[in-house]
Amino acid sequence: MSGKDRGVARFLSGATPASRLIAIGVACGALAIIPLPVLDRLPQLCLWERLFGWCPAHGTTHALAALLHGDVPRALSYNLNIVIIAPLLLAIAARDICLLLRHR
């Protein structure tokens, strides 16, 4: 595998700051655009919940979407782990922005 191919593979795997920023931006952008009632109508695809009947992350996607729509009480009602997930996503994005700016 050539150096260029390895760089493309690293980017596509999410191992670079730019690829993580794009992934976070696209995911959060989509959740901010999709209305919450549409998310409620989608089928549940959680393998963990299907196997074990319980999932500690159940409702996290809905919680992030509600938070991006500005509905904090609804976000907290979906799953309290949004209190950890949202700042973590912001910290990852901020770190990756700093890394990209430093390398330019």
Identify which of 73, 55, 71, 63 has the alpha carbon closest to the alpha carbon of residue 28: 63
User: Two tokens at 25?
Assistant: 């931006």
Q: What does the pLDDT read at residue 10?
A: 66
User: Two tokens at 80?
Assistant: 């309290």
CA atoms of 51 and 54, how far apart (whole Å) = 8
Q: What does the pLDDT read at residue 7?
A: 64
Determine the Cα angle at 28 with ends 22 and 32, to 5°: 140
Q: What does the pLDDT read at residue 76?
A: 96
CA atoms of 49 and 74, how far apart (whole Å) = 21
* One-letter identity of residue 61: T
Determine the Cα angle at 31 with ends 28 and 36, to 5°: 155
pLDDT digits (tens, 9 = 90+) for 16-73: 888 899 999 999 999 999 999 998 898 888 888 889 988 889 899 999 999 999 999 9
Q: What does the pLDDT read at residue 47?
A: 87
- Are 93 and 14 in contact, with CB atoms under 8 Å apart? no
The pTM of the full predicted model, rounded to 2 decimals, is 0.80
Q: What does the pLDDT read at residue 8?
A: 67
DSSP code of 70?
T
* φ, ψ at 58 (rounded to 5°): -55, 125
Q: What does the pLDDT read at residue 42?
A: 87
